[in-house]
Structure 1
Amino acid sequence: MQFFLRFTALTVEVDGQAQKGTWSSRFVPLTPGSHRVDVYFRYLFKARCCEAGTTVEVSDGQVVELEYRAPQLMTSAGRLTAVG
């Protein structure tokens, strides 16, 4: 199933602003402070499939790395965690 997801556009939403993404690394510059990050993708008739979200605190000059993992079942939530 994971193979087929490579052909699906991933959406990264930061503070309510959606950005189309791919299933690879991406850099999103942010101002210092608290930011809400949500990740999901469209699958069949569901607009926000396997959604996962977290709030991150960003300090001046800091890089926060997050990793999104899609679940095995499309009816489950994904997982978005800080790396490192």
Structure 2
Amino acid sequence: METPSDQSTLTLTLRHPVATFLYQATKPRIRLDGVDLETSGWGVQRIPITPGEHRLDVWVPYVIPRRAGRARRNITVADGQDLALEYMAPTMTFARGSLAAPGVQASRGYSTVMVFNIIAVVVVVAALIALALT
């Protein structure tokens, strides 16, 4: 029988970039050692975990790809430890998610999306100027 000190906690914060509002339509998925866990959605998840080594997978169900923003990390949890990690979904669904210490996660694909946005704005402005000159 486990004593209370044998129980540890994984505090996993699930985040997505503000601009990716479509992620709100679904819940991220968590798999610990090959077992799918229930989540309450985006935000902080407190997961009881036994001390030792574990494999943690996080992703967001999506149309294409089926598992957007996949992130995997091997973790080691000490007896009675509260291990804090943060998952950040990517800006582009084909990019990988980020899973590491809280506060240092950045969304992958953000700069690529911004470059495409700038190109689109330049093309629209150039088309408007061309129309105005003709």
Q: What is the TM-score of this pair, normalised by structure 2? A: 0.58
Deviation string 1:5-64 (CA, Å, 9 cap, x unpaired) is 011121011001012421111111111100111100111143211100101110100011
Shift of 1:71: 1.1
Return the offset for 1:83.
3.0
Distance 2:60 2:85 in 1: 17
Question: Which of residues 19, 27, 52 is equivalent to 2:37?
Answer: 19
Provide the residue aligned with 1:44 in structure 2.
63
Q: Hey, what's the Cα distance between the residues in 2 that align with 1:83 and 1:8? A: 22
Larger Rg: 2
| CA–CA separation in structure 2 for the residues paired with 1:20 and 1:74 | 22
Of the candidates 23, 26, 33, which is equivalent to residue 8 of structure 1? Answer: 26
Q: Percent identity?
A: 35
Indicate the residue corresponding to 2:110 in structure 1. none
> How many positions carry a matched residue from both structures?
84
Residue 82 of structure 1: CA displacement?
2.4
**Higher normalized helix content (fraction of residues):** 2
Moved segments of 4+, more than 4 Å:
none
TM-score, normalised via structure 1 length = 0.90
User: Of the candidates 85, 88, 103, which is equivalent to residue 69 of structure 1?
Assistant: 88
Alpha carbons of structure 1 residues 20 and 2: separation in structure 2 relative to 1, 3 Å:
farther
Amino acid across the alignment from 1:30: I
- Name structure 1 gaps, 5 residues minimum: none
